[in-house]
Structure 1
């Protein structure tokens, strides 16, 4: 699938902001199954200082500073990407999950050093007996890892009711799990917590999801949104992406932007500013397949 992605973030302030410093993480990761053909970041007002680097997870991070009074800040990221399908093995034919776990514990897996950083607690995710018990119902003795992962993904999907008003960006996995309500961030955080609680490496993934319109209806511009899912390390199979919000393995509708231990590592935009009074935030995301008709929302 070929996509053009446009992500616009606009801040409106009630009084002038005198200075701001920000990080932006909106560049698609260019590694299989994603190929990024172009990327452009436009910031208004134009920053006095700007830079670009890779973080410790390999995500592209842009930084900028504005040192003049402004009452509006807009950040527009535009990219063109191709997402290729990934051939997954039959879940029931994958290695037992204990084999992957022990490969990390005993440092026998060839990627144990990369994977082990995603086994431990992180700023927003804590392992617990409650999450371990929930995961154990899917990860029974000698069960193939992808079969167990698919079962856990389905159970979390059924456990939660999607409700964008029930949680906030700061809601803990423990609280969202008890509520059985939340959004994609909550679904992903809970599944990561479950997997880490049984000793399996799991990382949080932020990105985009193509919204498929009803049959016979054109796709609406501006109807897409940022999305979150997770990757489970499966030993010789590498990292496999699971989407508990939609009860599936990630496919060509998923475009990863960044990954880390949890949301705090991959927030699309974060920073500090001086002044501004009250502010309003408006975010618009458009994931446009380049071969489909569209109409303006």
Structure 2
């Protein structure tokens, strides 16, 4: 599927901003099941400096600096992305996945064990604290010996059932524990809770930001979160232990969308991955002036065939 993504951000400031420095995560990743074909980022007023770089998680982020006074700021990111269906759990020749408790043991600290980069996603992060409440919520899904993907799917479904999607009930900086107690929130909260539950059980999990197809194909339901940036969770799943008794070193990240209770497919576009929202927020910055502001964000994701008819 070829998808055109347009993400438009508009700020109106009062009084005007004297100068500003911003960083954005608005360039989709090329990864399994997804290839970025083209991307443009237009900023108005034009910045005096603009450059791309990779962060520590391999995401592309863009810095830009505005040195002239302005009352309005418009940032438009447009991307063309090719996606393919990805469901590794049903792929032919796919090795059996390890039980969740085997994975937990694999990531317990032991002196002399080779470093696994996935272990960085075991620990608390600014919006995903460690708390016994996450253990209590997650425990029914994690029965001893249960394959990790099966346990994660069950957890995803229970979060979907427990949480009520409600816009404006939480903020972008609402911690996962608060959202869990509220039982309400948006996709960011659903994703943070799933990440927190997995980490509480000793399993690496990370936060994924991205988009959904705005208008689904005929006969398919419209998904929650399809008119804005979306978020979901990704869990690290190693292969099952070999006959020699050692777990296979190779593993893969499997994505789970608790907001819509499904595995992301070709109708999803991944932007970036990190420990939580703070690592991959679409846009943030430092400004001088602009005590008050109004923010408008519009996101459109559509097949290029539909876009060509506009």
- TM-score normalised by L of structure 1: 0.92
Q: Match of 2:9? A: 9
Matched residues in 2 for 1:232 and 1:87: separation?
A: 14
Contact 2:5-2:302 at 8 Å conserved across structures: yes
What is the Cα-based RMSD across aligned positions, in Å?
2.3
Contact 1:21-1:272 at 8 Å conserved across structures: yes
Contact 1:241-1:249 at 8 Å conserved across structures: yes
Contact 1:103-1:112 at 8 Å conserved across structures: no
Q: Match of 1:84? A: 84
1:215 Cα shift?
4.1
1:269 aligns with 2:269: no
Contact 1:195-1:201 at 8 Å conserved across structures: yes
Matched residues in 1 for 2:131 and 2:153: separation?
A: 21
Contact 1:157-1:247 at 8 Å conserved across structures: yes
Matched residues in 2 for 1:224 and 1:26: separation?
A: 15
| DSSP 3-state at the match of 1:238 | strand
What are the equivalent positions in structure 2 for 1:87-106 lying under 5 Å apart? Answer: 87-89=87-89, 94-105=97-108
1:88 Cα shift?
2.2
Matched residues in 2 for 1:112 and 1:233: separation?
A: 15
What are the equivalent positions in structure 2 for 1:55-134 lying under 5 Å apart? Answer: 55-89=55-89, 94-105=97-108, 113-134=116-137
Q: Match of 2:38? A: 38
Q: Match of 1:259? A: 273
| DSSP 3-state at the match of 2:126 | coil
For 1:109-166, what per-residue CA distance to the aligned partner results, in whole angstroms no more than 9, with x for missing partners? x995210000001111112111012111001100011111110000000000000021
| DSSP 3-state at the match of 2:142 | coil
Ranges in structure 1 where 5+ consecutive residues have no aligned partner: none
Contact 1:204-1:228 at 8 Å conserved across structures: yes
1:138 to 134, 138, 141: 141
Q: Match of 1:197? A: 200
| DSSP 3-state at the match of 2:58 | coil
Q: Match of 1:175? A: 178
For 1:226-270, what per-residue CA distance to the aligned partner results, in whole angstroms no more than 9, with x for missing partners? 100010000134000000000011111111101100000001000
Contact 2:207-2:275 at 8 Å conserved across structures: yes
Q: Match of 1:166? A: 169
1:286 aligns with 2:300: yes
Contact 2:214-2:302 at 8 Å conserved across structures: no
Which stretch of the first structure deviates more once superposed, 17-26 or 123-132? Answer: 123-132
For 1:261-291, what per-residue CA distance to the aligned partner results, in whole angstroms no more than 9, with x for missing partners? 0000001000011112311000010101123
> Structure 1's 267 and 293: CA in aligned 2 closer, same or farther, altered over 3 A?
closer
1:292 Cα shift?
3.8
Matched residues in 2 for 1:197 and 1:102: separation?
A: 13
For 1:81-102, what per-residue CA distance to the aligned partner results, in whole angstroms no more than 9, with x for missing partners? 01111132259x5321122222
> Structure 1's 277 and 210: CA in aligned 2 closer, same or farther, altered over 3 A?
same
Matched residues in 1 for 2:202 and 2:60: separation?
A: 29
Matched residues in 2 for 1:234 and 1:262: separation?
A: 19
Contact 1:40-1:78 at 8 Å conserved across structures: yes
- TM-score normalised by L of structure 2: 0.88
Q: Match of 2:244? A: none
